[in-house]
Amino acid sequence: MKYLVLMTKTLGEKIRNLFSLAAVVPMFLFPSVKENIKINEYVSNPKVSYVASEKLEVKKQKIVEGAQKALFLTGYSMGNEKVRENTFNLIEISELNAVVFNAKDDSGIINYDSNIELAKQIDAVKPSYNIEDIVNEMDQKGIYSIARVVVFKDPKLAKGRQDLAIKDSRTGSPLLTEKTFWPDPYSEEVWNYNIEVVKELAKAGIDEVQFDYIRFPARGNVAYASYTNNKEGNNKIWAIENFLKKVREETKEYSIKISADVFGFVLIEKNDQGIGQMIENMAPYLDYMYPMVYPSHYGAGFLGFDLPEAHPYEVVKYTLEKGIERLKDTKCLIIPWIQAFGLKMNYTSNEILAQIKAAEELGINGYLCWNAGNKYSMVEQAMKLMPNENNEFADPLPNEIGQTLVLEYHNFDYTYKNESDKRWKRTYDDFNKDLQRLYDNGYRLISVDDFFVSNNVKIPYGFKPAIITFDDGSKNQLKFKDENGKLVLDDCAVKVMLDFFREHPDFGIEGTFYLNNKYCFGNENSIEKLNYLVNVLGMNIGNHTYNHVNLAKISEADIAKQMSLMIKDIKDILPDYEITSLALPFGIYPKTETGKALVISGNYEGITYHNKAVFLVGANPSYGINNKKFDPKNIPRIQAIDSELDKWFDYFNKYPEKAYVSDGNPAVITIPVSEKSSLNENSLGELTSVIYLP
């Protein structure tokens, strides 16, 4: 396991600088969560921008030079109001400050409302958004705009103007390579077409144009490539360099940054890799160079690693170091594209932070995050583990050593008969209010097995786990009715949960039902109900003894019998189901030590059992498995009645630091450094990392 002590005192000692771990851990996608952080960097120095009318415009500088921290969006995503809103919201609450978005993609499509005549002739204009509207929105929000323009991977142009395509030397037709058709990088007409795109974007007010696929084909049928526009026999480096030179010459009237994406390996090897990308020749014409240093793209054996993807810090730092040394005498800044996806392994916030750390240690202040599907949950989680400019963390701070609510329910009905009826009963309406109260107070449901047995907390960052338990298998916990010969869900506790889940899917739908035997839930349709509970809803079943007996009043032999017969009954219906927890009837243990041991594990007539978590009746919040105070044999629960619920919701509102708060990553345990001595190290698996927050 790995330990990180995060004693951050200044902004220069950001949390991410301590993240060099690269554990191979599961990745989970979590819903977006807003936090009270605002980290956008602004400066007051204006920059001068020449617009199409040649009038002088003063445009506020949005970022410190070279500090663009961006997400990539496709043209479709940029045009989707909801996706764009979510992205801009994430930028608002994090240190991100820029978006790279498709203006001309690798299918040759121009994603905005272009008026370029050649683009219209080849049917390349397929607008996903209005460019001026996008620029205005980003300007208003202070977001730095980077328009991605794919240059030489352009099948629309290659097929629409075949005279401009790379030819197949065998047939004279456009060459199919890298699964598509490419225009000839030697063609000045191809250059001019892309320059027209740059000019159009500059006039619209874009801050930066980023060239991608500014290279020759690297794979496929390249041996048969015929460059008919290369009349003077120039090499590939010449074509890329002179295209960039012409871009600079023809766009010098605009205040726009020019950048280019390059392969990571062209920073390491002092050659063009056969694609024309020689960084020393490109740098004089670029403000920024963005190497694609994705660790997954390096082969086995690189730096001695069998799987370089599992070592993002080392791979990224080594590559960037090589490039920085080669361009140290130029004005071109190197800023990495970092990998926000996984190929041979799953990537999490750990790997994001490791790549950012590698860049920052080399004095690089920016980074761009690439995920082709625009799924950035891992980046969002990484952002939440960083302090803002005032060295403040998101609120609430993760605390995975705190306490949480385990709620205990029994009977349900439409009404209460009297006040005493409320002791063991909840109306459906009150149960729904309980769920709403949990939801509004930042709780999300988790199963007993995930929280108390496997320590697999998949709760989003900043939320608190809540565990719901049901004792006795009463008929109104789960009820069916016949409707035209089919069994359908009737009014019951499970229906209340399911209806709530449909309205609030991020709340989850988890519950553990402590049953006595297979004659549960009113002894009607028990087989169908148990299958529905476990195999359809994915809920859990726990042991509550076969006859709901007081274990202090029966013999030791009968203790094992009570445990085992319940297991046998359930396995008669669900033969592969493993029961791992027990709710003590009446909350009472046997009196003898041997009897107590038999509660935990034993066997009867060949039926074995092992209870890894044992629940009491009442009366406090419970610590999780990470805390030394956690006792798996005596887990307290909260009676789900108004007085108890009021008491403990008020308690955690008054003392929020006492609550268990998730860091959003099941493979990482995050706790306050002040609680370091309370950590139960025996709860941690080999792949689990521990983060100590100040």
Asked if 185 contacts 243 with a C-beta cutoff of 8 angstroms, the reply is yes
- Output the pLDDT for position 385: 73
Average the pLDDT over each of 137-146, 645-654, 669-678 and give the range with the smallest value. 669-678
pLDDT at 38 over 70: no
Helix (H, G, I), strand (E, B) or coil at 258: strand
pLDDT band at 666 (very low <50, low <70, confident <90, very high): confident
Tell me what the mean pLDDT of segment 576-596 comes to.
97
- Output the pLDDT for position 13: 34
Q: Which two tokens stand for residue 317?
A: 């730092």
Q: What is the mean pLDDT of the chain?
A: 88
Amino acid letter, residue 226: S
pLDDT at 4 over 70: no
Tell me what the mean pLDDT of segment 591-611 comes to.
96
- Output the pLDDT for position 665: 77
Q: Which two tokens stand for residue 26?
A: 């599961």
Average the pLDDT over each of 107-121, 350-364, 380-394 and give the range with the smallest value. 380-394
The secondary structure element, H or E, covering residue 279 is helix 279-282
Average the pLDDT over each of 41-45, 125-129, 197-201, 215-219 and give the range with the smallest value. 41-45
Tell me the angle at which helices 493-503 and 428-440 cross, rounded to the nearest 10 degrees: 40
The three state secondary structure string of 340-409 is: CCCCCCCCCHHHHHHHHHHHHHCCCCCEEEECCCCCCHHHHHHHHCCCCCCCCCCCCCCECCCEEEEEEE
pLDDT band at 471 (very low <50, low <70, confident <90, very high): very high
- Output the pLDDT for position 62: 73
Which of 335, 446, 390, 327 minimizes the C-alpha distance to 41? 390
Share of the chain above pLDDT 70, in %: 89
- Output the pLDDT for position 561: 97
Strands 288-292 and 257-263: parallel
- Output the pLDDT for position 110: 98
- Interatomic CA distance for residues 276 and 259, integer angstroms: 16
CA dist 312 → 139, 349, 356 (Å)? 33, 12, 10
- Output the pLDDT for position 460: 82
pLDDT band at 26 (very low <50, low <70, confident <90, very high): very low
Peptide linkage before 632 cis (omega within 30 of 0): no
Tell me what the mean pLDDT of segment 486-508 comes to.
94
CA dist 399 → 7, 16, 465 (Å)? 15, 18, 11
Higher pLDDT, 53 or 324: 324
- Output the pLDDT for position 61: 56
Q: Which two tokens stand for residue 10?
A: 């200044």
- Output the pLDDT for position 60: 46
The domains of the chain, with CATH numbers, are: 403-550+619-662 (3.20.20)
Tell me the angle at which helices 349-361 and 312-326 cross, rounded to the nearest 10 degrees: 30
Residue with tokens 């930042």: 442
- Output the pLDDT for position 16: 35
pLDDT band at 44 (very low <50, low <70, confident <90, very high): very low
pLDDT at 222 over 60: yes
pLDDT at 688 over 90: no
Average the pLDDT over each of 306-315, 633-642, 668-677 and give the range with the smallest value. 668-677
Greatest mean pLDDT among 54-63, 187-196, 349-358: 187-196
pLDDT band at 384 (very low <50, low <70, confident <90, very high): confident
pLDDT at 67 over 80: yes
pLDDT at 46 over 60: no
- Interatomic CA distance for residues 200 and 406, integer angstroms: 60
Share of the chain above pLDDT 90, in %: 80
Tell me what the mean pLDDT of segment 352-356 comes to.
93
- Output the pLDDT for position 694: 67
- Output the pLDDT for position 209: 98
- Output the pLDDT for position 625: 93
- Interatomic CA distance for residues 167 and 225, integer angstroms: 6
- Output the pLDDT for position 505: 87
Provide the b/e sequence for 116-150 (b: ≥16 CB within 10 Å).
Answer: bebbeebebbbebbebeebbebbbeebbbbbbbbb
